[in-house]
Amino acid sequence: MDGLTLDAPAAAVALFDALPSLSGRLPHLPLGRFPTRVHRLDGVLPASVELWLKRDDESGAPYGGNKVRKLEFLLGEARARGRRRLVTVGGYGSHHVLATALYGAACGFSVDAVLFPQPVTDRVRENLLALAATGARLFPASSYAGVPLKVVRSRLGRGAHWIAPGGSSPVGTLGWVSAGFELAAQVRAGALPAPDVVYAALGSCGTVAGLWLGLRMARLATRVVGVRVVDRLVAHRRAAIKLAARTERLIARFAEPPPLAEVALDVDHRFFGPGYGHSTDEAEQAIAAAAPAVRLDPTYTGKAFAALLADARAGLLDGKRALFVDTYNSVDLSALIARSPGPPSLPPLLRRLFDATA
């Protein structure tokens, strides 16, 4: 795609720093800007709670958020296997699909995306316009029932490389194992004091599972709270633990894993709301509370921050140090959207999402 540069400096990968025998054996493409910065944020939580942020919203130049870490390993694997086409799936306004399309195009892949329905908001329409600018081929389904057949058809062609929803396969989860090591290294370097608890959105589980495993391997005893933002059938504690175990087995094929520390993993189900993509009053209040210091979204990070706010205001975090992982993209997409061919380039089912705003 014309006009896209990765701006990825040759930085060390925390996972490879911690386990050097993995370097060169686990395919990896440098895409992002790591380590992501950490900083304290005062005036948002009660004074009895110390709040820190880890800014993965700034993880990449063309696009930030939690997908960049995953894509470094996923696209590395695709290139190592000689694949030329990426196939993935997500909601109409999926950040995962957009990130895959952006970074995939920059690395020379074509991208096919199967899209399923979600509540249509201005953010969803903006992401679709940005997605159109990447040149990805879009295959929208009118209902969840139509998704499996479209995925199968897309995966059948030559050179296809499947990327799981949210990038949350063991390979993609390696990126967030690296994030756990990265956070531990920042603590050792004095960039922040060791947090007592870390909050992050729990969607397809890769972010939380990888972070939890990375912290255990790095022996940083920080409790992890995953705040569920998708259906309980997909996101729950057992699913995160299972994905972490599969990722640990992948690492063990190439390196001797270090002894694991005991790190608590909790899943908070209270803030999901009526369904995926639906905002809630609590999420909107959390977004307002964090602004203007940080920009959150109503689907993922707003709900995760709402859980942190609720626990702090209930006194459950008194005297503790909490870290919030901002997994939303903070890169301005206006220039990309300006290059978009617009709604006429979209499949008819997606084009109608714009007709409703006329």
pLDDT digits (tens, 9 = 90+) for 307-319: 999 999 999 999 9
Query: Same domain, yes or no, for 200 and 308?
Result: yes
Number of domains in the chain: 2
Q: Is residue 347 part of a domain?
A: no
Q: Say how far apart CA 120 and CA 349 lie, in whole Å.
A: 13
Mean pLDDT of the chain: 95
pLDDT in tens, 251-262: 999 999 899 999
Q: Do 37 and 182 share a domain, yes or no?
A: yes
- Say yes or no: 59 and 26 in one domain: yes
357 within a domain of the structure (yes/no)? no
Stronger pLDDT, 12 or 201, i.e. the higher one: 201
Q: Are residues 123 and 264 in the same domain?
A: no
Answer yes or no: do 91 and 122 share one domain.
yes
Sheet hosting strand 160-162, strand order edge to edge: 137-140, 110-116, 85-91, 160-162
Q: Domain residues for 224? A: 14-66+168-325
Quote the CA–CA distance of 50 and 263 in Å, as a whole number. Answer: 20
β-partners of residue 198 are: 224, 323
Q: What is the pLDDT of residue 8?
A: 52
Query: Does residue 335 lie within any of the structural domains?
Result: no
**Residue 321 zone, left/alpha/beta (φ > 0; ψ -120 to 50; rest):** beta
We report the CATH number of the domain holding residue 135 as 3.40.50.1100
DSSP E strands, 76-187: 85-91, 110-116, 137-140, 160-162
349 within some domain: no
217 plus 318 within the same structural domain? yes
In a domain, 187, yes or no: yes
Q: Check whether residue 215 and residue 288 sit in a common domain.
A: yes
> Residues 335-353: pLDDT tens digits?
999 999 999 999 999 999 9
The residue type found at 215 is: L
Q: Compute the distance between CA of residue 337 and CA of residue 123 in angstroms, rounded to an integer.
A: 12
